[in-house]
Chain A
Amino acid sequence: MTAISDLTSTPHKLGRAARNPRNNSHETLTRAAAWARRAPLLPALIFMIVVTQLPFVATLIISFIHWNALYPNDINFAGFGNYVAVFTDPTTGGSVLTTIFITVAVVLISLIFGLIIALLLDRAFWGRGVVRTMMIAPFLIVPVAAALVWKHAIFNPSYGLLNGILTWFWGLFGDAAHAPQVDWISSQPLGAVNTALIWQWTPFMMLILLAGLQGRPLDVIEAARIDGASTWQIFRYMTLPHLRPYLELAALLGTIYIVQNFDAVFTITSGGLGTANLPYTIYQTFFEAQDYGQASAAGVIVVAGSLIVATFALRTVSSLLKEEKP
């Protein structure tokens, strides 16, 4: 039922035979056939090339121009000036580190939570469908709405849920007035952002891992169990290796999305208190400082960085797809 579909398997070869007799008299015919084959693909391909590559060329050009919209008469060629400015700007280094920290923390923790919950949900128990539905729900709240609710209804120091629970708990012992009231966002800004993100992304990880678990060969596991393997041994030596490609895929996709996260940082802390990640910093350079040249240089650096990460990631994906070849 479950399988990581493999990209390496050849798709349907309908009409491949018609193309095979390749002699000179048929050359124009085969060329026409090749174009007929390409035709349905072209609109999507051309659209993607135009909307993704053209802006990038523009970014590249602007990154070499000294251009601040606040000083419209002072536009000139800057050489590598913008890149130097980006690299020497202390906020850049900070936002790179913040991006890495948020991404690693959120991906890792939600992956672990997702794994535990997927293992629990893989067993039959009363109300499993209900629990599964409840677990998916956080992923289906509009991200900016989720961030707002975490910020105001949960972390708020005076009447958020967390401090409300603390007051209520202290109140049980008749000491509600002395309940600790934590200013969650100011004291743990990154923790607050990460918590909201982990809450939203755990369901995503869980769904992929659950799909992986349901594809386990149950007969083999049962055989191991009869042979006296303990639950831990089965998990360690059978389930975990089986899940590896799914864990990698979930981590990769989670990374793609969370590196780009803007909504949570923008909403919960407005990039303050050391939570500004790269997307937020670029947004700020462009939108508030209006420094087009520097924002573009930062954009080019981000793209270069992502390309390096993406190359490794793609290698993982393709090796992963090959491994699963049935």
Chain B
Amino acid sequence: MTTATATAAAPATSGIRSPRRSTKARLPGTRRSAYLGVIAWRIGVLFFMPILWMLLTSLHSETDAATNPPSLFAPLTLTSYANFFGAASGATPWPALINSAMCSIFSTAIVLALSIPAAYALAIRPVRKWSDVMFFFLTTKMLPMVAGLLPVYLIAKQIGALDSIGLMVIIYTSMNLPIAVWMMRSFFAEIPIEVLEAASIDGAGLLLLFRRILIPLASPGIVATALICFIFSWNELLFASVLTSTSSSTAPVFLTSFVTSEGLFLSKVCAASLAISLPVLVAGFAAQDKLVQGLSLGSVK
């Protein structure tokens, strides 16, 4: 996407702006533009610096990481990653990572299974007052999740669902469903009406319509929705830290307990943070071109 926009936008802008350059002074314009480019680079590097620092620290030994001034050119080592994955202490992050993956994947699957039909009923064959329904979904997103923490805890305790993957899946489904409904509706609303009319004239049934037309045409949107739901579930800390303990604690919870129980190991903290962020980085860059649409609940394309 990045390259696509860059290449697509570059000829367009240069094509439009070139007359100005030829009429006015050519050189100052280019110089100013190059100057602004340098500023953009500097800001980009500044924002990327903490991540670069994280990466560098994670690749240093603990003693090299804890020097002041920083020793930038210390020898690189993967020890911290090995330690994070349990080489020294034996406490592996794998159960937590697997729990996180299960919570995120299952909840995302349920979110899709619920939001795709709902989006159909909101965009393709809309129910009456469909916009009220949309706003109901949005309002649930505006209520702070923390207000539901206690009753969820008490109900889960009552029915013995504390510290279970199933409970977290339900929580994350409710957390992401409004986002997914808004996103999916906007993707379905983009499908040209002619295509749908042609299908209905041809007498395509509902299942056929979904399988042959809606799902394939909206598939980039569905993938983006899934990736964003995955990211939000993977990142969640508050509910996971209250509702899970030993058997189903997720990666962010593991990360917090890891730091407090292991003392301060700077390099290991950086390695752990990067390792746990890796799935999100991958998912985020994969969904880059749809990220805006997802984050704005489908209202900005």
Which residues of chain A have a CB within 8 Å of any CB of chain B? 1-5, 7-8, 10-15, 34, 37-41, 43-45, 47-48, 51-52, 54-56, 58-59, 62, 116-117, 120-121, 123-146, 148-150, 152-154, 156, 158-159, 161, 163-165, 167-168, 171, 176, 199, 202-204, 207-208, 210-212, 214, 218-219, 222, 225-226, 246, 249-250, 253, 256, 259-260, 262-263, 266-267, 278-279, 282-283, 286-287, 292, 295-296, 299-300, 302-303, 306-307, 309-310, 313-314, 317-318, 321
A selection of 12 A-B contacts at a CB cut-off of 8 Å is A7-B299, A14-B196, A14-B200, A55-B148, A123-B33, A124-B10, A133-B2, A203-B47, A210-B292, A266-B238, A302-B146, A306-B147
Instruction: Report chain B residues within 8 Å CB of A303.
Output: 143-144, 147
Are A52 and B140 interface neighbours, CB within 8 A?
yes
Instruction: Report chain B residues within 8 Å CB of A130.
Output: 2, 44
Are A218 and B149 interface neighbours, CB within 8 A?
no
Q: How far is the CB of A39 from chain B (nearest CB, A)?
A: 7
Instruction: Report chain A residues within 8 Å CB of B147.
Output: 56, 59, 282, 299-300, 302-303, 306
Given that A2-B300, A153-B54, A260-B146 are known contacts, is A292 also in contact with B252, CB under 8 Å in the complex?
no
Q: How far is the CB of A75 from chain B (nearest CB, A)?
A: 12
- A105 and B40 alpha carbons, distance in the complex (Å): 23
- A203 and B295 alpha carbons, distance in the complex (Å): 11
Are B45 and A283 interface neighbours, CB within 8 A?
no
Which residues of chain B have a CB within 8 Å of any CB of chain A? 2-3, 5-6, 9-10, 12-14, 16-17, 20, 33-34, 36-37, 39-41, 43-45, 47-48, 50-51, 53-54, 57, 65-70, 114-115, 117-118, 120-128, 130-131, 133-155, 170-171, 173-174, 177-178, 181, 186, 189, 191, 193, 196-197, 200, 231, 234-235, 237-238, 242, 251-252, 255-256, 259, 264, 266, 269-270, 272-274, 276-277, 280-281, 283-285, 288, 291-292, 295-301
- A184 and B40 alpha carbons, distance in the complex (Å): 28
Q: Which residue of B lies closest to A293 (CB)?
A: B150
- A129 and B8 alpha carbons, distance in the complex (Å): 12
Given contact pairs A41-B121, A55-B152, enumerate 9 new A-B contacts (beta carbons under 8 Å). A38-B127, A135-B47, A136-B291, A140-B277, A140-B284, A148-B269, A153-B54, A279-B146, A310-B139
Q: Which residue in A4, A153, A283, A318 is a CB contact (below 8 Å) of B266?
A: A153
Instruction: Report chain B residues within 8 Å CB of A199.
Output: 47, 50
Q: Which residue of A lies closest to B189 (CB)?
A: A11
- A137 and B274 alpha carbons, distance in the complex (Å): 12
Are B34 and A125 interface neighbours, CB within 8 A?
yes
- A249 and B186 alpha carbons, distance in the complex (Å): 16
What number of residue pairs across chains A and B have CB atoms under 8 A from each other? Answer: 374
Are A11 and B122 interface neighbours, CB within 8 A?
yes
- A39 and B125 alpha carbons, distance in the complex (Å): 11
- A207 and B285 alpha carbons, distance in the complex (Å): 13
Instruction: Report chain A residues within 8 Å CB of B255.
Output: 142, 144-145, 148
- A152 and B134 alpha carbons, distance in the complex (Å): 42
Q: How far is the CB of A258 from chain B (nearest CB, A)?
A: 11
Are B234 and A142 interface neighbours, CB within 8 A?
yes
Q: Which residue in A12, A207, A287 is a CB contact (below 8 Å) of B123?
A: A12
Are A44 and B33 interface neighbours, CB within 8 A?
no
- A267 and B148 alpha carbons, distance in the complex (Å): 21
Given that A117-B43, A134-B44 are known contacts, is A167 also in contact with B148, CB under 8 Å in the complex?
no
Q: Which residue of B lies closest to A3 (CB)?
A: B301
Q: Which residue in A8, A59, A249, A256 is a CB contact (below 8 Å) of B151?
A: A59
Are A153 and B57 interface neighbours, CB within 8 A?
yes
Q: Which residue of B lies closest to A254 (CB)?
A: B295
Instruction: Report chain A residues within 8 Å CB of B50.
Output: 138, 146, 149-150, 153-154, 161, 199
Instruction: Report chain A residues within 8 Å CB of B259.
Output: 148, 152
Given that A38-B121, A142-B235 are known contacts, is A259 also in contact with B144, CB under 8 Å in the complex?
yes
Instruction: Report chain B residues within 8 Å CB of A302.
Output: 144, 146-147
- A249 and B140 alpha carbons, distance in the complex (Å): 17
Are A149 and B273 interface neighbours, CB within 8 A?
yes
Given that A131-B44, A208-B292 are known contacts, is A47 also in contact with B177, CB under 8 Å in the complex?
yes
Instruction: Report chain A residues within 8 Å CB of B252.
Output: 142-145, 263
Q: Which residue in A15, A131, A282 is a CB contact (below 8 Å) of B40?
A: A131
Q: Which residue in A13, A39, A225 is a CB contact (below 8 Å) of B121?
A: A39
Given that A167-B68, A296-B150 are known contacts, is A142 also in contact with B44, CB under 8 Å in the complex?
no
Given that A158-B68, A208-B300 are known contacts, is A306 also in contact with B178, CB under 8 Å in the complex?
no
Given that A287-B242, A314-B139 are known contacts, is A11 also in contact with B123, CB under 8 Å in the complex?
yes
Are B68 and A134 interface neighbours, CB within 8 A?
no
Instruction: Report chain B residues within 8 Å CB of A219.
Output: 16
Most A CB within 10 A of own CB, among B2, B171, B274: B2
Q: Which residue of A lies closest to B288 (CB)?
A: A136
Q: Which residue of A lies closest to B116 (CB)?
A: A40
Are A124 and B9 interface neighbours, CB within 8 A?
yes
Are B54 and A149 interface neighbours, CB within 8 A?
yes
- A129 and B288 alpha carbons, distance in the complex (Å): 11
Instruction: Report chain B residues within 8 Å CB of A133.
Output: 2, 285, 288
Are A55 and B200 interface neighbours, CB within 8 A?
no
Q: Which residue in A8, A262, A267 is a CB contact (below 8 Å) of B146?
A: A262
Instruction: Report chain A residues within 8 Å CB of B44.
Output: 117, 130-132, 134-135
